[in-house]
Amino acid sequence: MLLRVEKISVCYGAVEALREVSLQVDEGQMVGVLGANGAGKTTLLKAISGLVPIRSGTIEFEGKVLNGVPPHEIALMGVTHVPEGRGIFPTLTVEENLNLGGYGRPKDEVTRAKEEVFSLFPVLRERRRQLAGTLSGGEQQMLALGRGLMRNPRVMLLDEPSLGLAPILVEGVFKTIKEINRERGVTILLVEQNARKALNLVEYGYVLETGRIVIEGPAEDLRTDERVRAAYLGGRALRDTKSFKAPPPERRSSPGWKAGQA
């Protein structure tokens, strides 16, 4: 087990953003978290990466408890967070953004990591001296993913990577995420509103509604589940979450993609 979240709760003042949320991600796996705006998806990723404190519960990475660990130490452990809105530095060049992603690593490792990013995103090599703020939306998302890869992460937390992109660019972004997972062996926890695209990409999914997990299961099951189809593939938000039941324990995990698998 690479990442385990066990019954965590997060509050913003009197507002409970997450309530006893549990999930797990095996090494090499690609897992999705689906939900509408305000469901708590971004808060979940921020809790894992240490950006918001948890009120109760436990977060473990490789068996090590992350509760109270500073965000920069969590990043050094191999957990990379690519935030919603990309979070690039617009007044720095593409290369400077990438260098920041590799901050603290030996110079030769940073150089090697940049070459790997440029091989994945050739357009970034062409624009390496261009200010990041002048890139197109798709190029900025490439840069955000590339900067995340500069730390040679064990797991990437991706928050709404398709947000604000044209459909043709969304296709490219999801194709790249699949390559990062399958060809480079990076474990992925993907938060995404585009349920149809996400369920065609991930192996296992969780549906988050008003701060709690209301359903989970293998992606192929969720794609055909009438409750998920009505709530997300049909565009309506969940209303009667009492009808949702967690699957049996044996469905909580599925084999993940490993490095080198086709």
Model confidence over 139-168: pLDDT tens digits?
999 999 999 999 889 999 999 998 888 888
- Report CA torsion sign: 153, 157, 163, 166: positive
Residue pair 125/76 in contact by the 8 Å Cβ criterion: no
Q: Is 104 exposed, middle or buried (0-12, 13-18, 19+ CB in 10 A)?
A: exposed
The pLDDT assigned to 234 comes to 63
Helix residue ranges per DSSP H, 88-228 = 94-101, 107-120, 122-126, 137-149, 167-182, 195-199, 219-224, 226-228
Same domain, yes or no: 109 and 165: no
The pLDDT assigned to 258 comes to 29
What is the distance between the alpha carbons of residues 100 and 148, in angstroms, rounded to a whole number? 10
Total tally of structural domains belonging to the chain: 2
Identify the domain boundary among 131, 152, 173: 152
The pLDDT assigned to 36 comes to 87
**pTM reported for the whole predicted model:** 0.84
Identify the domain boundary among 152, 180, 208: 152
Model confidence over 241-254: pLDDT tens digits?
443 444 443 434 33
Same domain, yes or no: 109 and 120: yes
User: Which domain range does residue 112 map to?
Assistant: 82-152
The pLDDT assigned to 103 comes to 86
Same domain, yes or no: 54 and 172: yes
Model confidence over 17-68: pLDDT tens digits?
999 999 999 999 999 999 988 899 999 999 999 999 999 999 999 999 999 9
